[in-house]
Amino acid sequence: MTQPSVSPLELWLPDLRRFDPAHPLLALLRRADPLPAGPRGYLAGLVGHFDVAGDLPAGALTRELIVGDAGTGHWLCADPAWVQPDLNGARLLACGQLQLDLEEALALAEPLRAVFDDAGMTLEVSSPDRWHVRVPDDVSFPAFAAPEQALGEDLYEHLPEGPDGRRWRVLMNEVQVLLHQHPLNAERRERGLPPINSLWLWGGGRLPETVGSRLGGAIGDDLLLRALAQRAGLSMTPRSVAAVEAATRGWLVDLQDLPADEVAGQWWPSIQVLAQKQPLLLSFSSGERWLHRPWHRLRLWRRGGR
């Protein structure tokens, strides 16, 4: 296997299993050199690009990016979520990006504030899709599952466990009861939108003093990636065709949140341009990695399978 001698431009792509065998991107893989597997999953991928001591404190990082007041406090993400009951319990079907505007978010959060106040915490609506909880320094965090770990799965398998987790399970239950009764959710159903009937707590911790990275910069729209880039002092450019086609060695282009069909449509022409002029590290969120160099297009004998 060939290892890149100079940091190539890295394309962070969706799970390889989402790509149809006829997807044009797979033509690059057939002519590229396979590399040892990299990180698997969204959070592991971020940690693979940024050096942060301990667990990734997503709450503090995103609060600092959006509002700028994370300071030295303990923060949790408290993302608006949609939980669907079923015969065996309930499943987390969506977390964040639930088509909320600020007025709706504030209305949903209002009855919840007293619940968090009684627990000695403060609920903050940082943006319509990103809520946070400020937690006293003397409160211990159990292990909270990140949304990517729980989406589509039985909710109760991912609730915090043990003595430390009990108070959080009680808190989350109270939140769910209040949101279930909120009149705004009836209005959302009438508009064909899913209800906001839970908050997903995750990413606890304090703002890290330093964040390191070997990247030269990043292109993407992900909030936590932006927060880490800001803390590491990296350039961060919103995702656009022009930005992607201008990307160069040592940078990361974040496409991992997109459907594979969108990669084939909107972004494939830009990927072709990049592949013709510089080495590309094709990193899939499922861990597979390939190195493609411009001259690999001459490997005509590799037209067969992957």
pLDDT, tens digit, 9 for 90 and up, residues 46-76: 999 999 988 899 999 999 999 999 999 999 9
Split at pLDDT 50, 70, 90, the class of 1 is: very low
94 with 164, same domain: the answer is yes
In a domain, residue 2? The reply is no
DSSP labels, 268-296: HHHHHHHHHHS-EEEEETTS-EEEE-GGG
Contact 158, 92 (CB under 8 A): yes
The answer to whether 216 and 250 are in contact (CB under 8 A) is: yes
Is the pLDDT assigned to residue 29 strictly greater than 50? yes
146 part of a folded domain: yes
Residue 166 counted as domain residue = yes
Q: Is the domain of 65 the same as that of 49?
A: no
Count the neighbouring beta carbons within 10 Å of the beta carbon of residue 252. 25
- Give the Cα separation of 170 and 147 in Å (integer): 19
167 domain residue, yes or no: yes
pLDDT score at 2:
45
Residues 220 and 106 in one domain: no
**45 located within any domain:** yes
Q: Is the pLDDT of residue 304 over 70?
A: no
Pair 144, 174 in one domain: yes
Per-residue pLDDT reduced to its tens digit, 249-277: 999 999 999 999 999 999 999 999 999 99
* Residue 118 sits in the same domain as residue 66: yes
**DSSP codes, 152-210:** TSBGGGSS--HHHHHHHHHHHHHHHHHHHT-HHHHHHHHTT-----EEEEEEEEEPPS-
* β-strand pairing of 9-13 with 251-254: parallel
Return mean pLDDT, the chain.
92
* Statement to judge: residues 220 and 186 lie in one domain: no
94 and 179 both lie in a single domain: yes
72, 197: one domain: yes
Show which of 206, 222, 250 is a domain's final residue: 206
Looking at 173, 206, 239, the residue that finishes a domain is 206
- What's the helix, strand, coil split of the chain in %, to 5? 40, 25, 40
Which residue, 157, 172, 206, sits at the end of a domain? 206
In a domain, 265, yes or no: yes
Q: What's the structural domain count of the chain?
A: 2
Query: With 50 as the cut, is the pLDDT of residue 151 above it?
Result: yes
> Is the pLDDT score of 306 beyond 50?
no
305 pLDDT more than 50: no
Q: How confident is the model at residue 160 (pLDDT cuts 50, 70, 90)?
A: confident
Name the pLDDT band for 302 (thresholds 50, 70, 90). low
With respect to residue 1, please indicate whether it lies within any of the assigned structural domains: no
CA distance 199 to 301: 53
- 189-219, pLDDT tens digit by residue? 999 999 999 999 999 999 999 999 999 999 9
Residue 6 burial (CB count, 10 A): 7
The answer to whether 8 touches 279, Cβ cutoff 8 Å, is yes
Question: Domain check: are 140 and 153 in the same one?
Answer: yes
What is residue 107's predicted lDDT score, i.e. its pLDDT?
Answer: 97
Q: Are residues 196 and 241 in the same domain?
A: no
Domain carrying residue 17: 9-53+213-302
Regarding whether 181 and 237 lie in a shared domain, the answer is no
Does 6 have pLDDT greater than 70? no
One domain for residues 85 and 195: yes
On whether the CB atoms of residues 11 and 281 are closer than 8 A, the answer is: yes
What the block records as the tokens of 105 is 């978010």
Question: Is residue 102 a part of any domain in this protein?
Answer: yes
- DSSP string covering 213-274: ES-SEEE---HHHHHHHHHHT-EEE---HHHHHT--TTEEEE-TTS-HHHIIIIIHHHHHHH
pLDDT, tens digit (0-9, with 9 covering 90-100), for 79-117: 999 999 887 778 999 998 899 999 999 999 999 999 999
